[in-house]
Chains A and B, each alone.
Chain A
Amino acid sequence: MTTPLVRVSGLTKTFGDTAVLKGVDFEAAAGTSTVLLGPSGSGKTTVLRSLDTLEIPDAGVVGIGDVEVDFGTLPAQGRDREARLRALRAQSGIVFQQHHLFPHKTALENIIEGPLVAQRRPRDEVVAEGRALLAQVGLEDREDSYPSQLSGGQQQRVGIARALAIKPRVVLFDEPTSALDPELVGEVLAVIKDLATQGWTTLIVTHEIRFAEQVADQVLFLDGGVVVEHGPPAQVIGDPQQERTRTFLRRVLHPGA
């Protein structure tokens, strides 16, 4: 049996007096899509941000591919700590809820910034790759546009291309459509669905239940800082075993009911 690409165990995190993660465990195989569901405050975004070291968990282990970091034994400061975090960070690319594109750079410049500056790869090579990525997200004619000249959906698609450009093992999506006007949601979800079919490994935090059903190989339902239920969408969404999962799905699928 092969080792799963993504391995998370015993993840805990406290903000002030609030324990946000109380021991999160899960795994995700290469080439699969994992959707994290849960009410706000359940810790799903914190899990995602921990994988990209935007949050540093208090304890627990995160492994992606060959890189594994045990946050419980991570030094509080120093070169060793930075080197380990940098190695883990390089394994994933993240797409933010608010795209966080660099406003002073064009679409193409946003995309090639990572490979060009951080990875120090040759310019013509990364420009060619960047153009290919723009084509992949359907924006081949907008490479010279600044983010302010793009619609919300287009901005988010550039954000996806930027995350892919550093060639991560895993692509993380933090509520990628929550900030979009409803009519723009479809184009972004279509791009994410494409990635899943092309063999990218994705972890997606979303409230789009129908989308989760279509794209997910695995659904994690989080509540109160732990994974309450996990399994294929047909099971977790179609036939939830836990009362908390059922309550959540009822609220999301029938708001106002």
Chain B
Amino acid sequence: MRRLLVRSLAAVVVALAVTAGLGAASPASAADEPVVVVGTEGTYPPFTFHDPDTDDLTGYDIEVVKAVAKEAGWRLTFVESSFDSLFVALDSQRIDVIANQISINPEREAKYGLSTPYTYSRGVIVTPSDVDDITTLKDIKGLRAAQSTTSNWAGVAKEAGAKIEAVDGLSQAAKVLEQGRADVIVNDNIAILDYLATSGTKKIKIAGEAEGQQTQQALMFRKADSQLKEQADAALQTLRDDGTLKRISEDYFKADVSIEDGGEAQAEGRAGRSALDVVKDQAWPVLKALVKVTIPLTAISFVVGLALALGVALARISPRRLLSVPAGVFISIVRGTPLLLQLAIVFYGLPEIGLNFDRYVAAVLAFSINIAGYAAEIIRSAILAVPKGQTEAARTIGLDYRQTLRRVVLPQALRTAVPPLSNSLLSLVKDTSLASTILVVEAFRVTLNAANESTEYLALLILLGFYYWVVCWILSIGQRRLETRLDRYV
């Protein structure tokens, strides 16, 4: 019994180590250059987005932070995530700097280390095209504003008396506005121009200036990392002096937004493409994410989860209260709390008490614990469903506890457990999409990024749904084969 528990635990540790190896796919760092992890949305063109042709991460903010890194001697790793998650990620040391048009305001200056500004911009108010009576911030009082909740623009809208409808990024906000689910957006002038140019939409328009909202954007570090901030400031000064910033800005905006009054920014947008083209372009990247991240994440979590579940189930059945009570509590907690919450606790919460896991490890840990809670009950009832006479017969021919379990009870319990365990596995395949909330770039995140970028939500989400369905269909065929095999002696 104890040895079985120890073995289960050992299996867990090994699997975690393996995933840690997987997660450490970030480039090996040269000894002398510090690795700086950059957090960015990757879905906020023209500042941070994926080039539709090459799928490479690019944009004004990306090029600026790359130029800064070159000056400061950093090696960069990029992590993409929704805007709201960037702040938690910075706090929990998942990332070291945010390059995502972070507007300077007093609250942020108090809490974080902000570089000198590299963008000067202003806010605008966006409304549906057929609305004429909203032109100033005063007019949005009481209206529904679609905003990323932690963004500076959400603060501006809230200040003006609007109700915030939380979204994941600008193109989602625009969709929501077009669909009539919100009344207004307050956002950066350049970003809006880019969206209008790219999407070609006539349904929404810039209705007016968010007066008094001339803002400056900067790189944001943790307050404690003052050395990184100072290096960034020095690098920005050099880049300003040698004209690099101006050149990058003019590439994107035909104006220098890195200084005040550098001219009126323009956005060309990117060529609009048909939904079919977008789906064709994304079919491979999404499939790649499914095969390289979603499926391994599912497989490893399921195996680790089952090993844990066996230990928990045996502890639960044990006559010793020292084992059965904790097992019962564990099951109750896992089944009584949302998976999303469990992920957030492992990834964002545990670092506060010094347990800082890589995002892939954190995902495997949370998913395995979740599977363990549910599968433990399945295994427990499957074991109890094996007739008592089987255990008695095994004991009378001299088998000990472990031999009885391994050779007599578990093979028979397996037949009972396969259908419900298959259900758990199918659920897990799809539940891994929740890992997108803890910076894991799996199939759902890749699809959502592409959808935010192209604004082709329906087509891309159906594509992803189709992929998930195929994986589950293949698994259910496997389940049927396994059941047939196990039925051979019944």
Contacts and interface: CB of A to CB of B under 8 A. Distances in A.
Contact of B390 (A90, A100, A166): A100
Given A104-B411, A148-B489, A114 B389 contact: no
Contacts of A165: 397
Place the interface of chain B in its size category.
20 to 34
A114 B399 contact: yes
Contacts of A105: 489
A103 B395 CA distance: 16
Interface in B29-65: none
B396 A113 contact: no
B408 A102 contact: yes
B211 interface: no
Interface in A87-103: 89-90, 92-94, 96, 98, 100-103
A42 B145 CA distance: 82
B397 to A, nearest CB: 3
Contacts of B489: 103-105, 146-148
A1 interface: no
B393 A96 contact: yes
A93 B403 CA distance: 18
B225 interface: no
Interface SS of chain B: helix
Contacts of B408: 102
A5 to B, nearest CB: 18
Interface in B349-408: 387, 389-390, 392-400, 403, 407-408
B396 A101 contact: no
A40 B399 CA distance: 30
A118 B397 contact: yes
B395 A54 contact: yes
A52 interface: yes
B436 interface: no
Contact of B399 (A54, A104, A117): A117
Interface string A74-112: 000000000000100110111010101111110000000
A11 to B, nearest CB: 19
Contact of A52 (B396, B412, B488): B396
Contacts of A89: 395-396, 398
Contacts of B389: 96, 98, 100
Interface residues of A, number: 29
A114 B412 contact: no
Interface string A104-147: 11000000011001110000000000000000000000000011
Contacts of A92: 396
Choose among A90, A94, A102, A105 the residue with the greatest number of B CB atoms under 10 Å from its CB: A102
A162 interface: yes
B387 A100 contact: yes
B490 A118 contact: no
A50 B265 CA distance: 93
B403 A117 contact: yes
A101 B394 CA distance: 9
Most chain A beta-carbon neighbours within 10 Å: one of B387, B397, B408: B397
A93 B398 CA distance: 9
- Most B CB contacts (10 A, CB to CB) among A53, A94, A104, A147 go to A104
B392 A54 contact: yes
A51 to B, nearest CB: 10
Given A54-B392, A54-B396, A101-B393, A117 B412 contact: no
Interface in A152-171: 162-163, 165-166
Given A113-B407, A148-B489, A148-B490, A100 B393 contact: yes
Contacts of A163: 396-397
B299 to A, nearest CB: 26
Contacts of B407: 113, 117
Given A118-B399, A165-B397, A166-B398, A103 B392 contact: no
B14 to A, nearest CB: 27
Contact of A102 (B390, B395, B403, B490): B390
Given A90-B398, A103-B489, A166-B398, A118 B393 contact: no
A118 B390 contact: no
Nearest to A98: B389
Contact of A96 (B392, B399, B488): B392
A118 B392 contact: no
A113 B403 CA distance: 10
A104 B412 contact: yes
Interface in B388-434: 389-390, 392-400, 403, 407-408, 411-412
B390 A113 contact: no
A212 B411 CA distance: 39
Nearest to B400: A118
Nearest to A92: B396
19 contacts: A86-B398, A90-B398, A93-B396, A96-B393, A100-B390, A100-B393, A103-B412, A104-B489, A113-B394, A113-B399, A114-B397, A114-B398, A117-B403, A117-B407, A118-B397, A118-B398, A146-B488, A165-B397, A166-B398
